[in-house]
Amino acid sequence: MLYERSAGAVVFYYEDKHIKYLLLLYGAGHWDFPKGNIEKDEEEIETVRREIFEETGIKNLAFIPNFKHEIRYFYKKKGGLVHKEVVFYLVRSYEKEVTLSSEHKDYVWLDYEGALRRLTYKTAKDTLIKAHNFLMSMDERL
């Protein structure tokens, strides 16, 4: 079985006390967070910075300490089964403008409920629930 490991982030923008989450429409048709393959000798956090920049053009960001959430799933690639693990961090963006790469078809900034509805996979929804609860618990420090 093939094995893949990616790193990504729940990216949010905070404005007038409202949190907006950034979702991307993948070429395969699902809505998900920015993420990508961890390259050789790369730290997870470097992957996240690099992927966010490549996929959205966002550079001005900050990692929220103490948040990390891992998911796993299986999918079929060229007839073979891939076991995939993705680790998600929580990232605040200070930019709202997004420049998409050719990998993705669309993007959207949505509030919590909207993002929860839009995300395609249960594991992604669980990641958002955890990230949102984490942010709510530190609301006054944002």
Give contact residues for ligand ATP (rule: CB under 6 A): 6, 26, 28, 30, 32, 35-37, 71, 73, 75, 84, 121, 123-124
Closest approach, Cβ 101 to ligand ATP, in A, equals 11
Closest approach, Cβ 58 to ligand ATP, in A, equals 16
Q: Which is nearer to ligand ATP, 2 or 138 (CB)?
A: 2
Closest approach, Cβ 74 to ligand ATP, in A, equals 7
Q: Which is nearer to ligand ATP, 28 or 137 (CB)?
A: 28
Other Cβ atoms less than 10 A from the Cβ of 113: the count is 9
Q: Which is nearer to ligand ATP, 1 or 28 (CB)?
A: 28
What CA–CA distances, in Å, run from 45 to 35, 40, 65, 118? 11, 13, 12, 26
Half-sphere exposure of 5 (CA within 13 A, CB side): 10
Q: Which is nearer to ligand ATP, 31 or 109 (CB)?
A: 31
Closest approach, Cβ 6 to ligand ATP, in A, equals 3
DSSP run (H or E) holding 90: strand 80-93
Other Cβ atoms less than 10 A from the Cβ of 31: the count is 20
What CA–CA distances, in Å, run from 29 to 77, 80, 88, 121, 124? 15, 20, 20, 11, 14
